[in-house]
């Protein structure tokens, strides 16, 4: 059982509030912490928040939730996703491999605080790859995802609350942002250079992938590679002549729209 006490006293000419939070177990004090504030409101807020945390920790111990590092949590989550009907996609897998290389991976999942999330984003921003706010935002979302499902899926003591609390600081520092539409287009002889590059790849004796066709279809349909070859919504192609190709672009599982390129 946790409880608090607030004592009002004078420090010089100022009034301060000495706040103490204690927790007892079988009549013995197992936790004690004190802090001084200049206002009673701040003292109450701190004491109640600390008591809530202590009671949550006690509940987790009774419920039998495990304590693991964030890296171990990610590894277990990846294994479960690999066996599920919706495995992690390439972007998420690559992002998790990057995340576990940072100090946050060695923290106990239940001990992660909002400032740990901010510190991760600052370190990520200064890394060699120099990722933009949109990329870091994806990392934060993935961290939040595994912390949100860790308790129910894996029986691990963790919570998404630290990420939620960190959002204001992350937006204030402009560390995360929504992705922007890409406006980059091929310029000059870039198309010919790319086509020649893919032609050289096709000439390799072990290559069976039609790189140039995929490149042209991707340009014509404005689709990236994953949507082109998705199992759920596969693009269907019909070669009509040597110079023209009809491409069926999936809108739904049963509805396609047709485009042609030459």
User: How would you class 49 by CB atoms within 10 Å of its CB: exposed for 0-12, middle for 13-18, buried for 19 or more?
Assistant: exposed
Q: How would you classify the pairing of strands 2-11 and 14-25?
A: antiparallel
Given this model, what pLDDT does residue 104 score?
95
pLDDT value at position 149?
A: 93
Strands 236-239 and 245-250, bridge-based pairing: antiparallel
Question: In Å, how far from its chain's centre is CA 72?
Answer: 16
Extents of the domains making up the chain? 2-63, 70-172, 190-261
211 vs 142, which has greater pLDDT?
A: 142
Question: Is a pLDDT exceeding 80 seen at residue 145?
Answer: yes
Task: Find tokens 């006293």 and name the residue.
Answer: 9
Mean pLDDT, residues 38-47: 91
pLDDT attached to residue 248? 57
What pLDDT band is residue 64 in, cutting at 50, 70 and 90?
low
| Choice between 246 and 163, residue whose per-residue pLDDT is larger | 163
pLDDT at 114: 94
Average pLDDT in the chain: 83
Q: How far apart are CA 98 and CA 234, in angstroms?
A: 30
What are the pLDDT digits (tens) for 74-86? 999 999 999 888 8
Q: Are strands 245-250 and 28-37 parallel, antiparallel or unpaired?
A: unpaired
At 254 the three-state DSSP class reads coil
pLDDT at position 178: 86
Nearest CA-CA partner of 32 in 46, 45, 50, 20: 20
User: CA-CA distance, 4 to 51, in Å (whole number)?
Assistant: 8
Q: Is the CA virtual torsion 56, 59, 63, 66 positive or negative?
A: positive
**Amino acid 29: pLDDT:** 81
pLDDT digits (tens, 9 = 90+) for 173-205: 999 998 777 777 888 899 899 999 999 988 888
3-state secondary structure of 69: strand
Q: How far apart are CA 149 and CA 61, in angstroms?
A: 18
Give me the pLDDT at residue 57, please: 66
pLDDT computed for residue 26 by the predictor: 73
Q: Taking the model in full, what pTM does it have?
A: 0.59
Q: Is residue 90 pLDDT above 50, yes or no?
A: yes
What is the mean pLDDT of the segment spanning 79-102?
92
d(CA 104, CA 87): 24
* pLDDT reading at 62 higher than 50: no
- What integer is the mean pLDDT of 101-122? 94
12: left (phi over 0), alpha (psi -120 to 50) or beta: left
Instruction: Give the residue ranges of DSSP H helices in 70-160.
Output: 70-83, 90-99, 114-125, 133-154
Out of 1-5, 72-76, 230-234, the most confident range is 72-76
Say whether pLDDT at 100 is over 90. Answer: yes
Q: Which pairing describes strands 14-25 and 28-37: parallel, antiparallel, or unpaired?
A: antiparallel
* CB-CB contact of 82 with 88 (8 Å): yes
3 state DSSP class of 245: strand
């Amino acid at each position: 059982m946790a409880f608090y006490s607030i004592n009002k006293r004078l420090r010089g000419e100022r009034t301060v509030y000495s706040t103490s939070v204690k927790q007892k177990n079988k009549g013995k004090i197992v936790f004690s912490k004190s802090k001084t504030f200049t206002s009673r409101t701040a003292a109450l807020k701190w004491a109640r928040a600390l008591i809530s945390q202590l009671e949550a920790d006690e509940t987790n111990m009774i419920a039998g939730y495990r304590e693991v590092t964030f890296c171990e949590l990610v590894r277990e989550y990846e294994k479960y996703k690999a066996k599920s009907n919706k495995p992690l996609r390439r972007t998420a897998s690559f992002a998790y491999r990057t995340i576990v290389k940072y100090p946050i991976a060695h923290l106990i999942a239940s001990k992660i605080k909002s400032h740990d999330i901010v510190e991760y984003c600052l370190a990520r921003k200064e890394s060699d790859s120099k990722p933009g706010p949109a990329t870091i935002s994806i990392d934060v979302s993935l961290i939040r995802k595994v912390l949100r499902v860790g308790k129910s899926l894996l029986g691990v003591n963790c919570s998404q609350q630290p990420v939620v609390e960190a959002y204001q600081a992350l937006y204030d520092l402009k560390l995360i942002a929504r992705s922007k539409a890409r406006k980059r287009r091929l310029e000059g002889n870039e198309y010919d250079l790319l086509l020649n590059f893919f032609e050289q790849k096709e000439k390799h004796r072990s290559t069976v992938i039609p790189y140039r066709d995929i490149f042209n279809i991707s340009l014509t349909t404005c689709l990236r590679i994953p949507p082109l070859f998705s199992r759920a919504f596969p693009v269907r192609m019909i070669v009509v002549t040597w110079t023209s190709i009809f491409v069926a672009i999936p809108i739904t599982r049963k509805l396609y729209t047709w485009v042609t390129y030459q």
